[in-house]
Structure 1
């Protein structure tokens, strides 16, 4: 019985991992298709598409899947996705911006509202929290790229606006209209970025205590698991000791 139980546990974990992998590929594919439709279907000439392709490669998405997603944008048949942004508040008074790509806005609105409500938060009107964020380009590099000084100097030379380095990696912030040029300049010095995307940078952070952190993180996880949700941004700061306790 013990061996059988262990086998079942392993298969359950593998099934969960496969499900997450499939969901990730679906989101990446959707972003590639939308990016290709909005600009040229050539990653070299389309910064958003190049960023989507880089993210797909980093996520282990097969080359055939990437090419199929790009070709899908060239045809008129198939799904037509719409970008919709939701704003609201999570546990602890945290501001949340939820970006979605959907082919059914009614389904997405219902799902997002339900998840947020069950997670102890509530949605607000458009603009209710985004005024506290700045819309910028975000270029990410792993910690293995090099030290903070090396990345800072490269970012400064490339024309970036800000750099935040930690043991987890490097985040380079840039104006939206200069993201393509900054990304190309950084690539020449640091190599391929781990991610290039439009992002919401909070003006001020909200420290989340132990009472709210667990519920907040569960809410964010639930949102990110929804097929239509692409990204969740927030102004939360969970202290290391609280994270370790969770």
Structure 2
């Protein structure tokens, strides 16, 4: 157990979570459908589907919407989504990994490439930046679930590898193949997690000044506004002082 790390949330800035509700629900529905198609359409028997449903509930997605997304997976026809990963560099050489679920590979590739090129970035080939990240499991709980020491002890008992606590949340990192086992143990100790997913954690990070951070956030926002894009991971850090400056 590495203990409390100083590692900051590198998925994307918190403001990105305030995206339009309809777009957010579309992304959540897509993940639920894909998860249900890849395994059993029962959250209790399908860890990925369970995580997707929990994520949807955490965002107050209506039960009818969740069930409709599951039903799509079991009915004939409908959209077939493909998981695609794009890699590239943003402003100031920040490494970015974009995870997408799409029913049209050409459309998504064009949109992602355009987003990079118009916002100070460069889309690279597969493997261009992923070697600088570790593929891990990530379990997230809201800060209100307990103080950092309590969560740390629960994570240690569950077999997690690291914990990052902030004023907003607790991030619990696990080995990739131990994700659902650790999540199950944590659920018994802390209750349902806000999210359970595979994540990319950078081995090193780049500290950004205000101008570069502003340009990077614009690129991430453009990517995040695309319904096909599920998650954007990066190896950047932005200090509280710079965040305050950016407002």
TM-score (norm 2): 0.91
Unaligned runs of 5+ in 2: 1-17
CA distance in 2, matches of 1:81, 1:217: 27
Q: Which residue in the other structure is 2:58 paired with? A: 58
Instruction: Provide the C-alpha distance between the structure 2 equivalents of 1:27 and 1:166, rounded to a whole number of angstroms.
Output: 26
Please state how far the C-alpha of 1:75 moved relative to its aligned partner: 1.8
Partner residue, 1:100: 100
Distance 1:106 1:113 in 2: 11
| Equivalent position of 1:173 in the other structure | 173
After superposition, residues 52-131 of structure 1 pair within 5 angstroms as 52-131=52-131
Tell me the number of residue pairs that the alignment of Structure 1 and Structure 2 aligns. 229
Query: Which of the two has greater helix per residue?
Result: 1
- 2:37 equivalent in structure 1: 37
Cα distance, 1:211 vs structure 2: 2.1
Show the counterpart of 1:204.
204
CA distance in 2: counterparts of 1:116 and 1:80, whole angstroms: 26
1:195 aligns with 2:166: no
1:72: how far off? 0.7
Structure 1 runs not aligned, ≥5 long: 1-17
Q: CA deviation at 1:194?
A: 0.7
Partner of 2:15: none
> How big is the shift at 1:73?
0.4
Q: Distance in 2 between matches of 1:182 and 1:136?
A: 12
Q: Is the 8 A contact 2:19 2:225 kept in 1?
A: no
Distance 2:19 2:182 in 1: 35
Q: Deviations over 1:78-115 (max 9, x none)?
A: 00000010000001110000000000000000000001
1:1-52: CA deviation from partner (whole Å, max 9, x where unpaired): xxxxxxxxxxxxxxxxx98111111100000000011111111111111110
Structure of greater relative contact order (alpha carbons < 8 Å, 6+ residues apart): 2
Equivalence for 2:219: 219
In the aligned structure 1, how far is the partner of 2:131 from the partner of 2:192? 32
2:164 maps to which residue? 164
Deviation at 1:161, TM superposition (A): 1.1
Cα separation, 1, equivalents of 2:111 and 2:211: 25
**Counterpart in 2 of 1:144?**
144
Distance 1:19 1:147 in 2: 29
Of residues 214-223 and 18-27 in structure 1, the stretch that sits farther from structure 2 once superposed is: 18-27
1:201-231 Cα distance to aligned partner (Å, 9 max, x none): 1111110112201010111011000010000
Q: Over aligned residues, Cα RMSD in angstroms?
A: 1.1
Runs of at least 4 residues of structure 1 off by over 3 A?
none
Task: Tell me which residue corresponds to 1:13.
Answer: none
- What residue number does 1:241 align with? 241
TM-score by length of 1: 0.91
